[in-house]
Amino acid sequence: MKNTIILAVESSCDETAIALIRNGNDVLSNIVSSQIDTHVLYGGVIPEVASRLHIENITVVLKEALKDASINPSEIDAVAFTQGPGLIGSLHVGVQAAKAIALALDKPLVPVHHIAGHIYANRFVSELTYPLLSLVVSGGHTELVYMKEDFDFTVLGRTGDDAIGEAFDKVARVMGLGYPGGPKIDKLAKEGHHQYDFPKVKTENPLDFSFSGLKSSVIQTLDRERRNLREINPANLAFDFQEALHDALPIYNRIEHFLS
């Protein structure tokens, strides 16, 4: 059987990435150029800056991916790329790069939905068994997706405001921890224990998510403690905030609503 090799381009936000995959699950190479060191100076991702860095990095990442895979470009059967959602300028760089590669090699283009990519990435760990529920949690997306069969997607719930990654970043900013917020809050939370009470998140649709209220509650807690001249325990605050986020995510809390 002939091997099928896909060159995949990802540029939806602040990482320029190219991978070469053989037969769907054999990773020949996976090169990622992160922009964190630049965006940390601004406290978050600046779309225009991200786009310019993608332009600078895409050719370097492509050369490194081909070198690591130890294949001839003529062996590539198709070129996949992230079509969206994502930052428009960043996506545009990846799309144009994928088109140029496909044109040069005379190979077909395969557009990939960003969220579908998150879900199908699990196939690198184990095969997907249908029907399934997928909880997608990333920097810009929080969704609950039902798949009855392959390539059949029904979004049962999504965040109505901030994604969980955005909530991490915004709370880390007001706590003075810097960017990116997730790793910094997680590290600090490991040193803390319960002290602050935050409200449980409620949504009209029990399958939806909402993190804006929790973020606001953290900010209000910080303001209240400072007004009353009480010392804030950052580790405990990070612990309770992260616990509240985790409590809002588990699928098993939503299964009965999905089945009814």
Both 107 and 133 in a single domain? Answer: no
Last residue of a domain, one of 96, 124, 152: 124
Both 120 and 179 in a single domain? Answer: no
Identify the pLDDT of residue 1: 63
pLDDT digits (tens, 9 = 90+) for 15-45: 999 999 999 889 999 999 999 889 888 888 8
Both 75 and 190 in a single domain? Answer: no
Both 138 and 103 in a single domain? Answer: no
Write out the residue range of the structural domain in which residue 176 sits.
129-260
Q: Which residue has the tokens 């224990």?
A: 193
Last residue of a domain, one of 98, 124, 150: 124
- In the structure, what pLDDT confidence band is assigned to residue 139 with cuts at 50, 70 and 90? confident
Both 84 and 33 in a single domain? Answer: yes
- Mean per-residue pLDDT for 109-128? 94
- In the structure, what pLDDT confidence band is assigned to residue 164 with cuts at 50, 70 and 90? confident
Residue 259 has pLDDT above 70, yes or no: no
Both 95 and 161 in a single domain? Answer: no
Q: What are the C-alpha distances in Å from 249 to residues 113, 136, 245, 253?
A: 23, 10, 7, 8
The CATH number linked to 15 is 3.30.420.40
Identify the pLDDT of residue 93: 97
Identify the pLDDT of residue 202: 77
- In the structure, what pLDDT confidence band is assigned to residue 104 with cuts at 50, 70 and 90? very high
Both 10 and 120 in a single domain? Answer: yes
Both 169 and 256 in a single domain? Answer: yes
On average, the pLDDT of the chain sits at 91
pLDDT digits (tens, 9 = 90+) for 186-227: 999 999 999 999 988 778 888 888 888 898 999 999 999 989
Last residue of a domain, one of 124, 157, 174: 124
Quick check: 237 and 175 in contact, CB under 8 A? Answer: yes
Both 133 and 72 in a single domain? Answer: no
Both 107 and 195 in a single domain? Answer: no
Both 56 and 147 in a single domain? Answer: no
- Mean per-residue pLDDT for 105-118? 96
Both 237 and 148 in a single domain? Answer: yes
pLDDT digits (tens, 9 = 90+) for 58-81: 999 999 999 999 999 999 999 999
Identify the pLDDT of residue 128: 93
For the chain, the domain total comes to 2
